Amino acid sequence: MTLREAERSKQHKQTNQRSKRASSLDAPLSMLLDTQVMRFREWCRLNQFSPRTGRRILKSGDGPAVVQLTDKIIGITVAADRAWKAARVRGGE
């Protein structure tokens, strides 16, 4: 195996390991409990927007309530996300 092939193989393994991390979103969404806390990136992925957009939403003050998990890690409960989305529903007139 050449050096180039070895590097590609190593990068491929690292990419696969990153994608296999456990997530609360691995379970069907109907199985999520209201008290369950999603990490910030999981919340962004659930709502299909980028982390940058997620930070902008939270900074605006119009986002869901945030749970401070550690000094640096935040999360959003499933109930807070659901209530936030319900408040943003437009009338179908």
Domain ranges in the chain are: 23-87
Q: Is the pTM of this model over 0.85?
A: no
What was the pLDDT predicted at 89? 92
Residue 65: what pLDDT?
A: 95
pLDDT in tens, 2-61: 877 877 887 777 766 655 666 666 666 566 788 999 999 999 999 999 999 999 999 999
Residue whose C-alpha is closest to residue 39's, from 79, 59, 66? 66
The reported pLDDT for the residue numbered 6 is 78
Please compute, for residue 73, the number of CA atoms within 13 A of its CA located in the half-sphere on the CB side: 7
